[in-house]
Structure 1
Amino acid sequence: MTTDNKDAGAALERLSSNLQRVDALTQRLLAAVAHKKPVRTSLQGPSQELFTKAATAYVTEMMSNPSRMMEQQIAYWGQSLKHYVASQQNNSDRRFADPMWSEHPYFNFIKQQYLLNTQAMETAVAQMDNLDTRERQKLDFFSRQIMDMFSPSNFLGTNPQALARAVETDGESLVRGLENLVRDIEANNGDLMVTLTDQGAFDVGKNLATTPGKVVFSNHMFELIQYSPTTETVQDVPLVIFPPWINKFYIMDLRPENSLVKWVVDQGFTLFVVSWINPDASMRETGVDTYIEDGFLTAIAKVKEICDVPQLNAAGYCIGGTTLSLTLALMVKRGDTSVKSATLFTTLTDFSEQGEMSVFLGDDFVDGIAAEVEEFGMLDNMFMSRTFSFLRSNDLIYGPAIRHYMMGETPPAFDLLYWNGDGTNLPGRMAIEYLRGLCQQNRFADGGFEVCGEQLYLSDVAVPLLAVACETDHIAAWDQSYRGVQQMQGTERRFILAESGHVAGIINPPQRNKYGYYTNPDLQADPVDWQSNAEHHAGSWWPAWQDWLLLHCGNTVKARKPKATKGLKLIDAPGTYVQK
């Protein structure tokens, strides 16, 4: 038998083996999908009414202004012909980075025609009349979702890189991809959630969240972690950070080289961090008032008790910052001056504009969430994770799906993506109070938000305050964060605009020297003028925050070692709540 015959025989044997594996995997796939829990129609996309109204508006426009429709069609046909004859344009779209998309006539034409089709759809949506602002935002967002979904890169038959890999591996890449797909569906009880990172590469408390410290207090809402000092003396006024309970706190303590927690401790601050419980159905009646009374105010009281101080500095991240602001307004009503200064990270307090998130804040979606929490007592973390993923679908859904399912690649070991997938649930009552009272009705900034027996107003917040927003934040738009700070009444307010997004802009250690930031003391300017006249600074904003905190810290004292409140046995950080 010749060498060529032997090679052909081996390839045929590999292909036959792969086909057998495909058969077994298919049976697993069918069994996994059978466990899928039905999802309410209202939580899967906008109502049909939106698309019906859009179609009606399009037809009305076509009848009343046929010249515009004809102009669009002629332009579309002309561009199609141009790309059919010679489609050689370069494109920076990362989906089409493989040289075959530009060098091979067939794939180049498919790419160019897809880009042309999306451009035509975007133009049609942009020129559509008879839609209000919110309807236009939703139509634009979900039209883009449809366009992204139908990219030729998402389909095996029109993805040159995936086809080449399949040929090179005698189908092995497709079998490995099917294994990855089945594994993801099995892990999510029949739902498809793309695994973004190697789940086995990380262990919270072992190679993530490793800064030394102790849980010094706990209740039904949170564990309070006090971190061990690394300096002989510390600032007299301690610092407590309230992370969001939508995610877990260790985004601030991933690894030593990018840990905000470790950096703060190394600068000589006594640091406490709240680690929230992951809610289950038993917490259905937990509301914003519970988070304030049993969370924020209790943590503040315990920090003061442990450190034997009358005041502390507080910081809140995302919804943790929103609720810290509510807490500060309540403390004004009660005459409580325990907080000496406050820092807000990527925090919205004025929800008059919600940016890209607005498409998920209409009554159709919120009514669906209300029905979900009424039945189950909580909002499962899957809904929040999926929502945030669709805000960046090419990066967080389709791109990873291509690599894992078509190319058969193993997910990378990426600490940030591991944290991103380690989601938490939301208590039923709290979720609805937040979505209705704050996001939809904007009562904190407009009319007053009633909680804990008081009517709270954004203008009540008057402590010295520094707010950090992020330039490309798709969750908490920086200009809206800025507008909230403008409405606060403290005589000492500072605003920092960090480069990058919701996470990377905050977790930006100085040693990386990666992203800079902007400052401007004029908080009377509108956001556009503020940014255009702001001073740019190279490097991380963390040292600037340190300088500001030092203005509110008093003298230095001997370093404080963690000590528990009475009756509690110390346990090591990161505690137990973060593991649930």
Structure 2
Amino acid sequence: MADNTEAANTPAELSRALAEIASRSQQLVRNFLAREESAHHLSMVDTLRMGRLFQDLYARLMADPMQLAQRQLAFWQDYTLLMQRSTLRMMGFDIEPMIRPHEKDKRFKHESWESNLLFDFIKQSYLLTADYLHHTVKNIEGLDDKTEKKIDFYTRQFINAMSPSNFLATNPEILSKTIESRGQNLLKGLNNLLEDLERGGGALKIRMTDPDAFELGRDLALTPGKVIHQTDLAQLIQYEPATEQVYKRPILFIPPWINKYYILDLQPKNSLIKWLVERGHTVFTLSWRNPSAAFADKAFDDYLLEGPLAALDAIGQAVDAKEINLVGYCLGGTLLACALAYMAARKDHRAHSATFFTSLLDFENPGELEIFVDEDQLKSLEQQMERRGYLVGDQMARTMSSLRANDLIWSFFVNNYLRGEDPFPFDLLYWNQDSTNMPARMHAFYLRNMYLENRLREPGGVVLAGEPIDLGKVKVPAFFLSTREDHIAPWKATYQGLRLLSGKARFVLSGSGHIAGVINPPAKNKYGYWTNTRAPEDPDEWLAAAEYHPGSWWPHWLGWLNSKGGAKVAGRQVGAGQLEPIEDAPGSYVRERHD
């Protein structure tokens, strides 16, 4: 869409720009009201649930008024001291701040937050108030663990939203930019806001990166290969060899279907698939479909049968290999564990090894995602999915972003709408915004059986395609890779997966988070990782005795993977086996968008 704010420097031009904005806004309001009318019942249910949650908090607070009064008194004492210190600083005294932002907090990096007395006072007032609210809700007695986590989460969402950095009048950097540009940043920001609302059909869909900066097959997913097989749910891609000889046992990636596979094959400089191909491995990957309402009845069983199991059959036709090294990422790792248990029950020995990237097998402590999964919320979500036939990709994306709201929501809010700048073109964030839908039946099964009831860890607790799943029967060697700052699959929870499998397992912990800690090419020399040959029951004990290594964990995994690769054979050309290629990689399924 054309941007008319650059030339809006005269009154006439400004009037035209504002008239266009007003016209677009009216249409957006109509779209918003129509959408809200259809979702009114569900939003009322959510509002009532939230109200009950904080009514419970209020009742607990008032049950001990003396303790509440003591906390409030301590807060006002701190606030009075802050005003005294700020006054002394205005008089020229060198005064240490009462409270500082966390070293990783990027909201207050601009020098005016410290050099300007007014904004330093605003910043410290906010931090003191946030600290008071955090400690108040964290120290309420009588709440059950899940209720306490929910209240803490939503309180943090409120605190993050009310940061002075999010408002024009209390952000010194934005005020300065507004004066310098004579308000052009706000006009441009308003256009950005309207454009994001239009892209979201009336719901705010904040851009994390330029959606037109990348194109699959041109900028991303460039490793040469072809689609050699497909089912209703997935395409199977085989990559061309880059070496004269390759290891006999190929690698099959099972990515999560919450996102798209090309996280493993971004640009050549950070493509894990390309890196493995260049080191003598034959690599295959599943590319999941972006399901529509037509796939509403697709079950978790179907993802098992039409995904990894169908891929194993196809690989057997494509290359001469009876054993395969399997790799699952996040939800793909959960499916991998199910596939291995299913194969063990069927005496299927094609799996030679298994690697799990940030994968939960035991969902007892799955992190903050569990606050979105209880019986009431699950029933509400099931109603939404039944109406559409699937969970909208944006809904899951917003949930994931809310876990790191300051980094993944408010930083872009300030940049796009207050600074009036376009987001930086970043491949990881482009992928992050390329979300996918999920079939209603499959997703309800996954949330209920894994997150809500944690049945996967129980022998026979989950039945797939008629086969009771018992992870204890999985005896293949396993490699677990988790990341220390993971907010989606906390490493201490993924660590418990070692104890559910019967084979020899190795656990490695990478620095950084769920994505950057995994997609960490050696050339960057970032983050580092920890190893420990022992596997004690307590993950903290594992880390305390672990050895730290600088740089990427990829070479460490490659050594393990090479030992599972078998003898060397001549490089396998795509199409040389029994399967005719269907189309070039990255294929058509990955290009399907949920919107």
TM-score clears 0.5: yes
Of 470, 485, 503 in structure 2, the residue corresponding to residue 457 of structure 1 is 470
Tell whether the 8 Å contact from 1:29 to 1:185 is kept in structure 2 after alignment: no
Question: Is the CA contact 1:242–1:274 (under 8 Å) kept in the aligned structure 2?
Answer: yes
Alpha-carbon separation, structure 2, partners of 1:19 and 1:521: 69
Q: Deviations over 1:137-177 (max 9, x none)?
A: 00001000001001111111211111111111111111100
Where structure 2 has 5 or more consecutive residues not aligned to the other structure, the ranges are 1-6, 87-95
Partner of 1:495: 507
Q: Note if contact 2:575-2:581 (Cα within 8 Å) is conserved in structure 1.
A: no
Q: Which residue matches 1:224? A: 236
Q: Name 2:53's counterpart in structure 1.
A: 50
| Alignment equivalent of 2:497, drawn from 484, 487, 490 | 484
Counterpart residue number, 1:520: 532
Aligned-partner SS, 1:496: strand
Residue of 5, 30, 34 corresponding to 2:30:
34
Q: Distance in 1 between matches of 2:510 and 2:270?
A: 16
Q: Where do residues 150-161 of structure 1 align in structure 2 (5 Å cutoff)?
A: 150-161=162-173
Displacement after TM superposition at 1:13 (Å): 5.5
2:317–2:578 CA contact under 8 A, matched in 1: no
Q: Offset at 1:300? A: 0.8
Q: Provide Cα deviations, 1:400-435, integer angstroms capped at 9, x if missing partner.
A: 111110111111111111000001000111100000
AA at the equivalent of 1:297: L
Q: 2:224, 2:239 within 8 Å by CA — same for their partners in 1?
A: yes
- Which letter does structure 1 place at the counterpart of 2:62? V
Contact 1:33–1:191 (8 Å) recurs in 2: no
Q: Which position in structure 1 is the counterpart of 2:363?
A: 351
- Provide, for residues 32-91 of structure 1, a one-character-per-residue CA deviation record: whole Å limited to 9, x for no partner: 2322323432567953211111111111121xxx1x223212211111112222246253
Aligned position for 1:78: 77
Are 1:111 and 2:139 counterparts? Answer: no
Conserved 8 A contact 1:43-1:369: no
For the residue of structure 2 that corresponds to 1:557, the secondary structure is strand
Write the letter of the residue equivalent to 1:58.
L
Q: How many Å separate the matches in 1 of 2:47 and 2:247? A: 50
Which of residues 57, 64, 87 in structure 2 aligns to 1:61? Answer: 64
Of 444, 466, 475, the residue aligned with 2:479 is: 466
Structure 2 residue aligned with 1:308: 320
TM-score for both structures, normalised by structure 1:
0.94
Alignment of 1:84-103 (within 5 A): 84-87=83-86, 89=97, 90-91=100-101, 92=103, 93-103=105-115
The alpha-carbon deviation at position 26 of structure 1 amounts to: 2.7
Q: Which residue of 1 aligns with 2:4?
A: none
- How much has 1:485 moved relative to structure 2? 1.4
Label 1:525 to 1:479 Cα distance change in 2 as closer, same or farther (>3 A).
same
Instruction: Give the Cα–Cα distance (whole angstroms) in 2 for the partners of residues 159 and 27 of structure 1.
Output: 29
2:241 is aligned with 1:238:
no
Distance 2:278 2:189 in 1: 44
Moved more, 557-566 or 268-277: 557-566
1: CA distance, partners of 2:123 / 2:501: 50
Could you tell me how far apart the structure 2 residues matched to 1:393 and 1:303 are? Answer: 42
Counterpart Cα distance in 2 of 1:70 and 1:213: 67
Kindly indicate whether the alpha-carbon contact (under 8 Å) linking 1:202 and 1:418 is maintained by their aligned counterparts in 2: yes
**Deviation at 1:324?**
0.6
Cα distance in 2, alignment partners of residues 354 and 14 from structure 1: 56
Q: Secondary structure at the match of 1:86?
A: helix
Q: How many residues align?
A: 565
> What's the RMSD between the two structures over aligned residues?
1.7
Task: Map Cα deviations across residues 504-537 of structure 1 (whole Å, 9 max, x no partner).
Answer: 1110111111121111121133101000001111
Greater alpha carbon shift after TM alignment, 29-38 vs 559-568: 559-568
- Whole-Å separation in 2 of the counterparts to 1:293 and 1:43: 36
For 1:116-127, list aligned pairs within 5 A: 116-127=128-139
| Other structure's SS at 2:52 match | helix
Shift of 1:457: 2.2
> Are 2:481 and 2:509, in contact at CA under 8 Å, matched by a contact in 1?
yes
Secondary structure in structure 2 of the residue aligned to 1:83: helix
Q: Using a 3 Å threshold, how does the CA distance of structure 1 residues 50 and 157 change in structure 2: closer, same or farther?
A: same
CA distance in 2, matches of 1:562, 1:288: 30
For structure 1, which runs of at least 5 residues remain unmatched after alignment? 1-10
Which whole-Å deviations, capped at 9, do the CAs of 1:347-373 have from their partners, x for residues lacking one? Answer: 000001111211111223222211111
* 1:565 CA displacement: 7.0
Q: 1:164 and 1:150, CA in 2 relative to 1: closer, same or farther beyond 3 A?
A: same
SS in 1 for 2:190: helix
- In structure 1, the partner of 2:541 is 529
Q: CA–CA distance in 1 between the matches of 2:233 and 2:202?
A: 31
Rounded to whole Å, the distance in 1 between the matches of 2:535 and 2:472 is 15
Residues 189-214 of structure 1: per-residue CA shift (max 9 Å, x gap): 00001101011111011011111111
**Aligned counterparts of 2:201 and 2:56: Cα–Cα separation in 1:** 36
Asked whether the 8 Å contact 2:8–2:17 carries over to 1, the reply is no
Q: Work out whether residues 228 and 579 of structure 2, in 8 Å CA contact, stay in contact via their aligned partners in 1.
A: no
Change beyond 3 A, Cα 1:567–1:458? closer
- Specify the alignment match of 2:225 in structure 1: 213
**Partners of 2:590 and 2:49 in 1: CA distance:** 34
Q: Secondary structure in 1 aligned to 2:322? A: coil
Q: Secondary structure of 2:458's match?
A: coil
Write the letter of the residue equivalent to 1:516.
G
What does residue range 350-389 of structure 1 map to in structure 2 within 5 Å? 350-389=362-401
Amino acid at match of 1:212: P
Partner SS, residue 199 of structure 1:
coil
Which of 181, 184, 194 lines up with 2:193 in the alignment?
181
Secondary structure of the equivalent of 1:388?
helix
User: Bigger shift: 72-81 or 386-395?
Assistant: 72-81
Paired position in structure 2 for 1:437: 449
- Contact in 1 for aligned 2:226/2:581 (Cα 8 Å): no
Shift of 1:30: 2.7
Change (3 A) 1:14 1:103: farther
> Is 1:486–1:524's contact at 8 Å kept on the other side of the alignment?
no
- Write the distance in 2 (CA, Å) between the matches of 1:22 and 1:486: 62
User: For each residue in 1:221-250, what CA deviation from the matched residue of structure 2 results, as whole angstroms up to 9, or x when unmatched?
Assistant: 111111111100000111110100000000
Q: 2:577 & 2:452 partners in 1: Cα distance?
A: 40
CA contact (8 A) 1:61 1:129 kept: no
Alignment correspondent of 2:92: none
Quick one: distance in 2 between partners of 1:386 and 1:239? 32
Measured after TM superposition, the shift of residue 305 of structure 1 is: 1.7
3-state SS of paired residue (2:463): strand
SS in 2 for 1:445: coil
2:202 corresponds to: 190
Q: Which moved more, 1:331-340 or 1:72-81?
A: 72-81
Moved more, 191-200 or 452-461: 452-461
- Are the equivalent residues in 2 in contact too, given 1:22–1:178 (CA < 8 A)? no
Q: Does the CA contact (< 8 Å) of 1:353 and 1:480 recur in 2?
A: yes
